[in-house]
Every structure is written in structure tokens, then in C-alpha cells.
């Protein structure tokens, strides 16, 4: 959360101190590489200025060993073969970050099934103490909108109980979705929100140190502001809670409503991982009247500056 620090000491630096914003965050400015599921993409991403690497994990085979045992590999269903295993993927990021202190990458691991998550736990345990950078453990653990019956969610209890072994991990927990260019109506329903809340509470996450981010699909999230803000409020007292807005190419999105959601929640609590054309339409560098938090911060800074100048004037007499 942004904090405004006001220094009432009158010295040569007081004008700078009065308007200093310490710990201010604009999570929407964090950059993403999405679906980094091949060696070529990983190599290119590690050489780039991208902040966060998102990749999918399935249970499958390496292309070089099609008859070998099934192992966690990088890929998105229905693809279950890859030229890179999860083990190699994690080790390469670890090596990169160890050798590039000024250009470290965070990683979001999107587990596509209960089986691949449980099959990856030993590997994560072996490396965890060395992974001193942001690691997100992601899964769709609740069946979600719009009437999505085609994708099986990862078992919520298995996922959340497994994540408890990694207390510093950010839990990225969402819903399966059905959406696209022809969809215009759909929300995260109250029942779907309640199911998520129950899973979190039943697995003791509010008593843990885990930050939580809810990955929500842009086109649906734009129509679900009340539901999503209520969900965040339910856990704000016990966990650090954010949204991660994502979108597939060509998804139908009400841009005005999505901007409203982003600025209602606050840019210090929303990650945005969407295609460039949608990001350009959102125009998050020009918040306008929607950025109430920034406007309030600016007003407070001006008030503090005026008060300090007034006190300085009195002391000079």
C-alpha cells in the first residue's frame, strides 16, 4: 500500500520530503511474458526486460523422449509434449536470477491438473530455499463462468494444502472460464465467489502468511465489480489481496467497465496481463477521473506542502 511520509523538520530537504511517496506501487506497470512454454520463448524472455514469466505445466513427455514416463513439462492443454521440462524451466530461471541481480524475473506457474501439481511438489521443495524472487503458484480451483463445464478445475483442497508448504508463495487461485469474442454477458456469480471463499477458509489460508491474487478474465471481470471487490474485502484483514486481470486474444471486453474496476480497486492492487491491443485501449498511463486513489494522494501532498510552507513562514519571523 502507498504511504505518504510527511517530514515537519525545516531543513534544506524538507520540500522533497514532504512530497515523498514511499513504497508506492503501480502493479499495472509490471510487464508479463505469457505462455512461455518452450525453450525458445524462455531464452528470449530471460534476455528481455520482462518482469514476470507466466508458463503452463501439464503432465506429459519431452519431445526428445516420447516413450519415457510422464513428467511435468511446459505446455497448455491439449498439448502434452514439450522441449522443456518443469525441472529445466525452474533451474534456468534460478540460474539467470543468480547471475543477474539487477534483472531478476518473477515466475507464475500455472498448473493445469491436480496430478501435475502433486507431481511437482517434490521438485519445488528441492529448489524452494534458493528461489528468493516472486513465485506464484496458480491454478483454477473453482468451476466458473460462463456455464463452464468443459474444463475440470484443479482440486481446491489438494492445491491449497500443497501450497501451504511454501509460505512465501503468492497463491494465484481462480475459476475455469468460458468466454470469447461472441460473449457479451457473464459474471463471476455470488455462488462462485462463495465457493472460492469457502475453499480459502477451509484450508486455513487466512491464518497463513500467503498473499492471495485472484486471476480474473477481463471480459467477465469488467461486469463483476461488486462481486470481486466484496471478495477482496473478505480477506483484506488477514492476507495481502490483489487481482490479476488476464485476457485471451480477441476476447470481448467492455474497456470502460474494466478501467472502472481497475481504478476502483486501485492500481496498487491490480496486475494486468492482457494482450497489447487491450492494454493500449485501457490507457492505464492516463487514468483520468477514475484514479481516485492517485487524486487523493496528490491532494494530500499539496495540503502537506502548504502546511509546511506556512509553518516555515511562521518560524522565519
Determine what percent of the chain is predicted with pLDDT higher than 90. Answer: 75
Mean pLDDT (whole number) for 22-29: 70
pLDDT one-digit tens code per residue, 34-66: 999 999 999 999 999 999 999 999 999 999 999
Q: pLDDT band at residue 188, thresholds of 50, 70 and 90?
A: very high
Listed residue (34, 144, 306) closest to 298, CA to CA: 306
pLDDT over 80 at 29, yes or no: yes
Q: Which three cell numbers stand for residue 259?
A: 478501467
Domain boundaries, the chain: 12-310
Determine what percent of the chain is predicted with pLDDT higher than 70. Answer: 82
pLDDT one-digit tens code per residue, 238-262: 999 999 999 999 999 999 999 999 9
Listed residue (250, 168, 248, 190) closest to 215, CA to CA: 248
Alpha helices in the chain (DSSP H): 14-18, 39-46, 86-99, 114-118, 121-128, 156-163, 190-202, 218-221, 225-235, 255-265, 276-282, 292-316
pLDDT one-digit tens code per residue, 93-103: 999 999 998 89
Distance CA 181, CA 147 (A): 16
For residue 180, the model assigns a pLDDT of: 86
Q: Structurally, what CATH architecture does the domain formed by 12-310 represent?
A: Alpha-Beta Barrel (3.20)
pLDDT over 60 at 30, yes or no: yes
Amino acid at each position: 500500500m502507498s504511504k505518504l511520509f510527511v517530514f515537519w523538520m525545516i531543513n534544506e530537504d524538507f520540500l522533497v520530503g514532504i512530497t515523498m511517496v514511499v513504497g508506492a506501487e503501480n502493479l499495472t506497470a509490471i510487464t508479463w511474458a505469457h505462455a512461455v512454454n518452450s525453450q525458445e520463448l524462455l531464452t528470449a524472455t530471460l534476455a528481455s526486460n520482462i518482469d514476470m514469466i507466466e508458463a503452463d505445466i501439464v503432465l506429459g513427455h519431452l519431445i526428445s523422449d516420447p516413450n519415457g514416463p510422464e513428467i511435468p513439462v511446459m505446455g497448455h492443454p491439449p498439448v502434452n509434449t514439450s522441449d522443456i521440462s518443469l525441472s529445466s524451466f525452474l533451474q534456468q530461471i534460478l540460474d539467470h536470477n543468480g547471475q543477474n541481480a539487477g534483472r531478476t524475473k518473477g515466475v507464475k506457474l500455472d498448473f493445469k491438473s491436480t496430478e501435475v501439481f502433486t507431481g511437482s511438489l517434490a521438485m519445488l521443495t528441492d529448489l524452494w530455499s534458493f528461489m528468493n524472487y516472486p513465485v506464484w503458484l496458480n491454478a483454477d480451483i473453482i468451476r466458473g463462468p460462463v456455464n463452464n463445464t468443459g474444463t475440470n478445475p484443479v482440486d481446491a483442497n489438494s492445491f491449497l494444502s500443497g501450497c501451504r508448504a511454501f509460505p512465501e508463495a503468492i497463491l494465484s487461485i481462480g475459476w475455469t472460464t468460458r468466454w470469447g469474442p461472441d460473449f457479451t454477458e457473464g459474471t463471476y456469480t455470488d455462488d462462485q465467489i462463495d465457493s472460492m471463499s469457502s475453499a480459502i477458509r477451509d484450508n486455513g489460508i487466512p491464518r497463513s502468511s500467503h498473499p492471495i491474487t485472484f486471476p480474473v478474465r477481463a471480459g467477465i471481470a469488467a461486469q463483476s465489480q461488486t462481486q470481486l471487490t466484496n471478495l477482496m474485502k473478505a480477506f483484506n484483514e488477514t492476507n495481502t489481496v490483489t487481482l490479476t486481470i488476464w485476457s485471451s486474444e480477441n476476447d470481448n471486453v467492455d474497456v470502460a467497465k474494466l478501467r472502472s474496476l481497475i481504478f476502483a480497486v486501485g492500481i496498487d492492487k491490480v496486475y494486468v496481463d492482457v494482450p497489447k491491443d487491450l492494454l493500449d485501449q485501457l490507457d492505464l498511463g492516463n487514468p483520468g477521473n477514475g484514479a481516485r486513489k492517485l487524486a487523493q494522494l496528490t491532494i494530500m501532498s499539496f495540503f502537506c506542502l502548504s502546511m509546511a510552507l506556512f509553518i516555515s513562514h511562521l518560524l522565519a519571523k
